């Protein structure tokens, strides 16, 4: 089978969709995303984007695989404990779809490196686990005018929001969290139900694919998922005129 006919078969269920079709799938195939944090959220988002035929993915995470990650970070297996997360993930994703170009960055990026990484992609998916990274990623997206798809999960709760790229009119991540709320900080002290970050990462991939394919995406809303009750609701995020991201 030729590469082209193999690709068409692989993408057949997208090509059959009225909202995607050949044009939308071509846009997905030409698209790129930076995924910040290859944890439970980043693993799910990366797998679905690569499976769906995105053209290029950049993964960044300076961590190594820990045994406590394995209950939810589904790109990693028992034999990967101690290895670099981005390199293990890149190898799995390349096997999943060899047509996707994958770049792995296995260190903490400084401001200039982050700006360069953000400028080189169509959009950013942030599934990182700390506010310092989240604020830095948001600022880089505001400066570069790039869409930020932001997700978080803790305990039995998940949340998702899409910001930009029209930051002159719409809110940024800092408008939602003006200051770091350490109680939201990470899974280590609070625990997390394994599939909840998977739900959020999967939804982030949905929004990313919609954006690439040219389907309208609702920005400036915080989408909240409570796995304990099964409730889902969304609240509008106000753009803060005094947000530090907009003062220059």
Closest distance to Zn ion from the beta carbon of 171 (Å): 5
Q: Look at the block and give the residue holding tokens 């590469």.
A: 3
Closest distance to Zn ion from the beta carbon of 26 (Å): 34
Please state whether 195 falls in left (phi above 0), alpha (psi between -120 and 50) or beta.
alpha
Residue number of the CB atom closest to Zn ion: 243
Which CB, 57 or 175, lies closer to Zn ion? 175
Which CB, 141 or 175, lies closer to Zn ion? 175
Torsion of CA 183, 185, 189, 192, to 10 degrees: 110
- Cα dihedral sign for 102, 124, 222, 213? negative
Closest distance to Zn ion from the beta carbon of 132 (Å): 16
The residues of the shown chain that bind Zn ion, judged by CB under 5 A, are 172, 174-175, 243, 245
Which CB, 20 or 245, lies closer to Zn ion? 245
Beta-strand pair 147-154/56-60: unpaired
Closest distance to Zn ion from the beta carbon of 175 (Å): 3
Distance CA 191, CA 187 (A): 5
Which CB, 50 or 237, lies closer to Zn ion? 237
DSSP tag of 55: S
């Amino acid at each position: 089978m030729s590469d082209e006919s193999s690709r068409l078969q692989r993408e057949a269920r997208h090509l059959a969709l009225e909202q995607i079709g050949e044009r939308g799938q071509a846009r997905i195939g030409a698209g790129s995303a930076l995924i910040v944090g290859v944890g439970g959220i980043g693993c799910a988002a990366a797998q679905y984007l690569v499976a769906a035929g995105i053209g290029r993915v950049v993964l960044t995470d300076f961590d190594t695989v820990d045994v406590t990650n394995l209950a939810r970070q589904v790109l990693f297996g028992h034999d990967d404990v101690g290895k670099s997360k981005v390199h293990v993930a890149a190898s799995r994703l390349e096997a999943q779809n060899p047509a996707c170009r994958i770049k792995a960055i296995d260190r903490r990026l400084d401001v200039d490196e982050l700006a360069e990484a953000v400028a080189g992609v169509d959009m950013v998916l942030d599934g990182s686990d700390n506010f310092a990274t989240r604020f830095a990623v948001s600022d880089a997206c505001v400066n570069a005018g790039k869409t930020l798809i932001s997700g978080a999960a803790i305990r039995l709760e998940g949340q998702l929001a899409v910001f930009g790229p029209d930051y002159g009119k719409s809110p940024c991540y800092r408008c939602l969290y003006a200051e770091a709320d350490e109680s939201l900080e990470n899974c280590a002290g609070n625990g997390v139900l394994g599939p909840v970050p998977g739900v959020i990462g999967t939804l982030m991939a949905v929004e990313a694919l919609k954006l690439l394919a040219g389907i309208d995406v609702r920005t400036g809303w915080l989408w909240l998922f409570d796995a304990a009750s099964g409730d889902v609701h969304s609240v509008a995020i106000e753009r803060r005129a005094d947000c530090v991201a907009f003062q220059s």
